[in-house]
Amino acid sequence: MSQQEVQRYDGTDFPWSKEVERHFKDSFHLSQFRPLQLRAINLTMAGRDLFLVMPTGRGKSLCYQLPAACSHGFTLVVTPLVSLMEDQIMYLKSTDVPAVMLNAFSTKVTT
């Protein structure tokens, strides 16, 4: 993908843009994207593969949480840190975004 094509994903003229903006403000109570967040979210919503590396505290979580909130079905996020999973679940539930986690400490559930 060319640099020009990649930069196109910095825009807000996609079919999902209004839904992303609504959840960004109403569910996550944010007003401005950090660098690379909107591009990563748009690439994800477009179904493109994405490998995103950002320093701690730069907003990586929103890059998968917001597309998940705007999508039908479910989103699977794999992370090696149980404490990060717990923090993410608590935050998502506080914003009324349905979320669950599964890890080595989870109990078996039968139906």
Has 108 been annotated as catalytic?
no
Q: What is the DSSP string of 63-91?
A: HHHHHHHHSSS------S-HHHHHHHHHH
Q: Which residues of 88-107 are buried (b: 16+ CB within 10 A; e: fewer)?
A: beeebeeeebebeeeeeeee
> Pick the catalytic residue: 25, 60, 93, 108?
60
What are the residue numbers of the active site?
60
